Structure 1
Amino acid sequence: MGFTIGIIAVTALVSWLGFGNHALVQRLMLWPPAVTRGHEYHRFVGYGLVHGDFPHLLFNMFTLYFFGRAMEGFFAGYLGSFGFLGFYVSALVVSALPSYLRHRHDPDYATLGASGAVSAVLFAFILLQPWATIYVYVVPVPAIVFAVLYTGYSVWANRRQADKVNHSAHLAGAAYGVLFTVLMEPRVLQHFLAALLDPS
């Protein structure tokens, strides 16, 4: 799980530095006009290295730690040692695209945080172990039940646009995690369906 720990270490360090350095956050966060006009494409990855506050960072990295450990070995078996890292970085890019395309000319919009990529890792894991127990804070929930509730809530919240959370990144990341994993290993879908019918 070397890459999982590495991603967490780098993200935690950059985010911690960003808490006291507004200029650093401004350089890394996904601000669409900077990409559209300034061609600052590094922001498609950099935004995942900075977070709005410590709870935001802690929740993302805590989730990544538990599910990244399981998925790192799985991806390495198909894509080599750097497979998980490639998946994670590509998930950052893909999960940001809907927000960027919707707001590419909006100077008042910006987003940050690794939630989209973490969602990709989590939903890839759910394909492999749909009945695994996930602890939502302290409440144990079957992974597949969490996936349904999480997706439903994200769709609803994304339509309402009543908070500052980038729900479209969560949805795009989750969809990418599923699609990437199934395209990489189509037998995963058969495994998921069989496991779904056999909670034991």
Structure 2
Amino acid sequence: MTITLAIIILTCIISFTSFNRPEQIDKLSFWPYYVQERKQFYRFITSGFVHADYMHLFFNMLTLWFFGRTIESAFVIIFGGKLHFVLLYLLGLVLPDISTYFKYKDTYGYRSIGASGAVSAILFSAILLAPWSKLLVFFIPLPAVIYGVLFLAYSAYMSRRGGDGINHDAHFWGAVLGLVYPLIFRPELGKLFVQQLLSIF
């Protein structure tokens, strides 16, 4: 069994058993106020394994299924094992929520759930490795790098605007993590990325 599939199964089990159970979601969600007041740092991790509804879960896990397997295999070749894939996913759960923590640590009513930060990290590592691969966005084929730019711009804009109940900060910083993480350990991937971008000219 791949690590990607194991993560999907675990996430689905925890999410399914949390649907229509607000008290369970409260225990697992990322709740900055409780992280600060009660030192419940485990929420950085557990919030990524629970989702608001079937649609939220479906889109996150579908994206992880398509790109997680690719990155898991690629990281075996690049790094010689699967440890970096696990680290990237876990960091994708934790690091993108740090800015959210500082923004909402004094706001009792704010909570967020979902694996979007980690999934964004996986997706953007895939974009780094294959920028001109095609992604289907609302059934429209779009080069991955173009989608990436639009995604980052949209997430940054919506983060400033707010009001839609979605943690766009996690999307944005998860995406940045996915681009930066492989480059920290293999800087030469940056040169390969640029070469691929210029290959169409």
- TM alignment of 1:87-106, pairs within 5 A: 87-106=88-107
| Residue 81 of structure 1: aligned partner | 82
1:37 matched to 2:37: yes
Structure 1 unaligned runs (5+)? Answer: none
Deviation at 1:79, TM superposition (A): 5.9
Question: AA paired with 2:121?
Answer: A
Contact 1:123 1:178 in 2 (8 A): yes
**Closer/same/farther in 2, CA of residues 198 and 175 from structure 1, 3 Å limit:** same
Contact 1:131 1:199 in 2 (8 A): no
| Residue 196 of structure 2: aligned partner | 195
Give the 3-state SS of the residue equivalent to 1:140 in structure 2: strand
| Residue 152 of structure 2: aligned partner | 151
| Residue 9 of structure 1: aligned partner | 9
Q: After the TM superposition, which of the residue ranges 123-132 and 33-42 deviates more from structure 2?
A: 33-42
Contact 1:133 1:140 in 2 (8 A): yes
Q: Measure the CA separation in 2 of the matches of 1:170 and 1:79.
A: 28
Aligned residues: CA RMSD: 1.4
Structure 2 unaligned runs (5+)? Answer: none
1:183 matched to 2:184: yes
Aligned length, in residue pairs: 200
Give the 3-state SS of the residue equivalent to 2:44 in structure 1: helix
Q: Measure the CA separation in 1 of the matches of 2:21 and 2:46.
A: 15
Moved over 6 A (4+): none
Listed one character per residue, the Cα deviations across residues 92-114 of structure 1 (whole Å, up to 9, x for unaligned) are 10011110111111101111100
Query: Taking every aligned residue pair, what percent have the same amino acid on both sides?
Result: 37
Q: Measure the CA separation in 1 of the matches of 2:14 and 2:165.
A: 21
Deviation at 1:150, TM superposition (A): 0.7
Contact 1:116 1:172 in 2 (8 A): yes
Contact 1:181 1:188 in 2 (8 A): yes
Contact 1:11 1:50 in 2 (8 A): yes
| Residue 125 of structure 2: aligned partner | 124
Question: AA paired with 1:123?
Answer: F
TM-score (normalizing by structure 1): 0.96
Give the 3-state SS of the residue equivalent to 1:183 in structure 2: helix
**Closer/same/farther in 2, CA of residues 8 and 33 from structure 1, 3 Å limit:** same
Q: Measure the CA separation in 2 of the matches of 1:101 and 1:75.
A: 32
Give the 3-state SS of the residue equivalent to 1:135 in structure 2: strand
Give the 3-state SS of the residue equivalent to 1:86 in structure 2: helix
Q: Measure the CA separation in 1 of the matches of 2:13 and 2:31.
A: 21
Q: Measure the CA separation in 1 of the matches of 2:80 and 2:176.
A: 20
